[in-house]
Amino acid sequence: MDIELSEISSFIQSIPPFDSLPKPALARLIRELSINYVRKGETLPPNGINEPRLYIVRKGALSCLTNDNELISRLGEGDLCTEFCKQSLQTASNNQQKTPRQVKTDEDCLIYSLDCEVLRELGEKYPSISDYFNYNSAQRLKQKMSKVNEEAIISSSLMNTSVSNFYHSPVAGIDASQSIQQAAIQMTEQGYSCLVVLDNSKSIGIVTDKDIRRRCVAQGLPISASICEIMTRNMSTIDIKSNAYDALMAMTAKHIHHLPVTKQGKVVGMVTVTDLMNNEGQNAVNFSSIIHKAKSLADLKEISDLLPKLQIRLAKLGASADHVGKSISAITMAFTKRLIEMAEEKYGQSPVPYAWLAAGSQARQEQLAHSDQDNGIIICDSMKPYDDAWFENLAHFVCDGLADCGFIYCPGDIMATNPKWRQPVKVWQKYFDGWVDAPTPKALLNSSVFFDLETICGDASLLNAVRTNLLKKTKRNSLFIAHLSKNALGLRPPLGFFRDFVLKQNGKHKDTLDLKHNGIAPIVDLARIYALSQGISAVNTIERIKQAAGSAAISKSSAENLIDAYEFLGILRVKHQANKLMLGLEPDNYLPPKELSKLEREHLKDAFKVIKTLQDSRQTSL
């Protein structure tokens, strides 16, 4: 009869990892507990205890300090103090820790404790216990993320399903020598809406029934004309190894409904939007295509109201923050493109080639619903001073339109409407050179926005030229990287949690966790530094870290840890925002610790530790 200890039992059971124990094991564990009362201002272990023990705070508060009195963590009710059982448990090396440490009571404490030998025996029988105590932060986080990914596989199909599960094979091909009519006959007979055009069995283009309508019938082209007249050359393709989500993203970004699937560069099949949509219902592709069809600004506005719903849906589907960010960014891109098309209808074609640029989170493909806009225009050097009028019109039309669609104006005026960010290639080049050569605080602020820059629409070669020069420069310029690092290290993650507060490095408490500035932004900053120092042109944070992995900037295993931390923080953010959106509130990045489970707090603490370790190693390399 163990119901008598139900209070202690329900307390212990609420604490990970003991929550995973079956009832009889829990009852046995409880019988092994000792209870001590330790006065405020004393140190652990309590008098008279010599054997290593695990301490569990039942009531009161403890501080863990390094020997130089630097605060490492503060423990409150339900927190575990593992300081004194590391030696007997830890098999994995935990080199992040500064030892030895001391533990002080900040209040009068009622403390439960467990002989580490008992804990070790328990761990032999229940791996969840030994894993918890043996793993360091990075390992625990990795375990959590692999569990999250497993769940995503179950809850969502597209992200983790290969294109090969959706594509049609063999693909219907037509010889380049055939006429448009023959293509139409073949499509009708075989029931295909799309054919790959072959020249000596090499695919040179793609023709869809839409092409026949738009490029032949509507244009009055004879149906006897060559199929080559109306086909799309330089067709986009996707490798058979890609996942279905990537296919969806590619189609969304390019407004296409058919995507040839290649295997070792050869077209082997075709995947269509319909194939994927049957799986996903309302989704980003749908969105992009209705945006593409929008006739007026009013239409666009109406569509933009649905954006928060999409974010909620994606969050509910268990999409990772990476996928949510990519979906929302793809849609913002579609809005921007449609607005540019509308502007071009209104003001005529551009006088010289140009490209519309997105900066910041949109460029990194990490945008969430209705964040603010950061953009600019890069114009061909052949522009004349009077050409700017056209671009000014374009900028106002697009930025105002985006604002109408809920993408608020950039508070820092980093927008194409600002003449400073609407410049020819040579001026942009000069900007970047200036930022790199003279890294003033202002320059560093600019560089953190503009080093995440992507072409949304127009001539991508303009930005690419600037970027190539820039990366050559940053790779060589260690002083610039040092300044950038110093600047980025200003944002430090908190230590963890104490009761329902966030515990900052200086020991002060905060009511909410700022997920963006205390977790996500520091990782984005680190990734940017890695990319710039290694000459990596990617702007997406995960992509940057992946490409930098194993370079002088970051080791492979650290890179994996950092991605785990980033994804975990991202998931919390997406979940938190979805909850807010569902309640009809403005989404934000402020998470009250009360909303976090004990386990989530543990994982967050682990994520903070990973960030801090990499920030520290950045610091020492300065």
Of 1, 154, 218, 583, the residue at the interface with another protein (CB under 8 A) is: 1
CB of 4 vs another protein, minimal distance in Å: 4
Of 7, 189, 345, 586, the residue at the interface with another protein (CB under 8 A) is: 7
Indicate the residue among 58 and 140 with the shorter CB distance to another protein.
Answer: 58
45 belongs to the binding site for another protein (CB under 8 A)? no
43 belongs to the binding site for another protein (CB under 8 A)? no
CB of 79 vs another protein, minimal distance in Å: 14
- DSSP-based three-state secondary structure for 370: coil
Of 16, 17, 52, 60, the residue at the interface with another protein (CB under 8 A) is: 60
Residues 6 or more apart whose Cβ sits within 8 Å of residue 234: 205
CB of 48 vs another protein, minimal distance in Å: 4
Contact yes or no for 63/106 (Cβ under 8 A): yes
How does DSSP classify residue 320? -
DSSP 357-406: EEEHHHHTT---TT----EEEEE-TT--GGGHHHHHHHHHHHHHHHHHTT
299 belongs to the binding site for another protein (CB under 8 A)? no
CB of 503 vs another protein, minimal distance in Å: 21
CB of 551 vs another protein, minimal distance in Å: 52
Stretch that binds another protein, among 2-10, 86-94, 232-240, 282-290 (CB under 8 A): 2-10
Of 34, 155, 169, 188, the residue at the interface with another protein (CB under 8 A) is: 34
Indicate the residue among 31 and 594 with the shorter CB distance to another protein.
Answer: 31
* Six-digit token string for 126: 């229940």
Indicate the residue among 6 and 155 with the shorter CB distance to another protein.
Answer: 6
Of 16, 17, 21, 46, the residue at the interface with another protein (CB under 8 A) is: 46
- Paired sense of beta strands 258-263 and 238-239, if any: parallel
- CA 256 to CA 89: how far, in whole Å? 57
Of 54, 58, 159, 253, the residue at the interface with another protein (CB under 8 A) is: 58
Of 38, 271, 532, 563, the residue at the interface with another protein (CB under 8 A) is: 38
Which of 56, 133, 136, 70 minimizes the C-alpha distance to 101? 70
CB of 310 vs another protein, minimal distance in Å: 46
- Paired sense of beta strands 80-81 and 354-359, if any: unpaired
Indicate the residue among 8 and 297 with the shorter CB distance to another protein.
Answer: 8
Give the gyration radius of the chain's Cα atoms.
29
- CA 432 to CA 473: how far, in whole Å? 10
Indicate the residue among 111 and 238 with the shorter CB distance to another protein.
Answer: 111
Contact yes or no for 578/501 (Cβ under 8 A): no
Q: Tell me the per-residue interface mask from 228 to 247 with another protein, x by CB under 8 A, - otherwise.
A: --------------------
CB of 35 vs another protein, minimal distance in Å: 4
148 belongs to the binding site for another protein (CB under 8 A)? no
Residue 365 backbone zone (phi > 0: left; psi -120 to 50: alpha; other: beta) = left
Of 10, 14, 23, 39, the residue at the interface with another protein (CB under 8 A) is: 39
- CA 392 to CA 85: how far, in whole Å? 66
| Interface positions, 104-133, toward another protein (CB under 8 A) | 107-108, 110
- Paired sense of beta strands 422-424 and 375-379, if any: parallel
Indicate the residue among 27 and 489 with the shorter CB distance to another protein.
Answer: 27
Indicate the residue among 34 and 469 with the shorter CB distance to another protein.
Answer: 34
| Interface positions, 158-187, toward another protein (CB under 8 A) | none
| Interface positions, 14-33, toward another protein (CB under 8 A) | 30-33
Indicate the residue among 5 and 176 with the shorter CB distance to another protein.
Answer: 5
What residue type is 490 in one-letter code?
Answer: G
Stretch that binds another protein, among 39-47, 155-163, 458-466, 602-610 (CB under 8 A): 39-47
- Paired sense of beta strands 513-514 and 590-591, if any: antiparallel
Contact yes or no for 25/31 (Cβ under 8 A): no
Indicate the residue among 47 and 200 with the shorter CB distance to another protein.
Answer: 47
Residues binding another protein: what is the number (CB under 8 A)?
Answer: 26
- CA 616 to CA 493: how far, in whole Å? 12
Q: Determine whether 26 is exposed, middle or buried from the number of CB atoms within 10 Å of its CB (0-12, 13-18, 19+).
A: buried
Which of 255, 294, 324 minimizes the C-alpha distance to 404? 294
Indicate the residue among 5 and 445 with the shorter CB distance to another protein.
Answer: 5
543 belongs to the binding site for another protein (CB under 8 A)? no
Stretch that binds another protein, among 102-110, 177-185, 509-517, 549-557 (CB under 8 A): 102-110
Which of 307, 324, 382, 312 minimizes the C-alpha distance to 350? 382
Contact yes or no for 399/416 (Cβ under 8 A): yes
288 belongs to the binding site for another protein (CB under 8 A)? no
Contact yes or no for 291/537 (Cβ under 8 A): no
Angle between helices 297-304 and 388-404 (to 10 degrees): 40
Binding site for another protein (CB under 8 A): 1, 4-5, 7-8, 11, 30-39, 46-49, 58-60, 107-108, 110
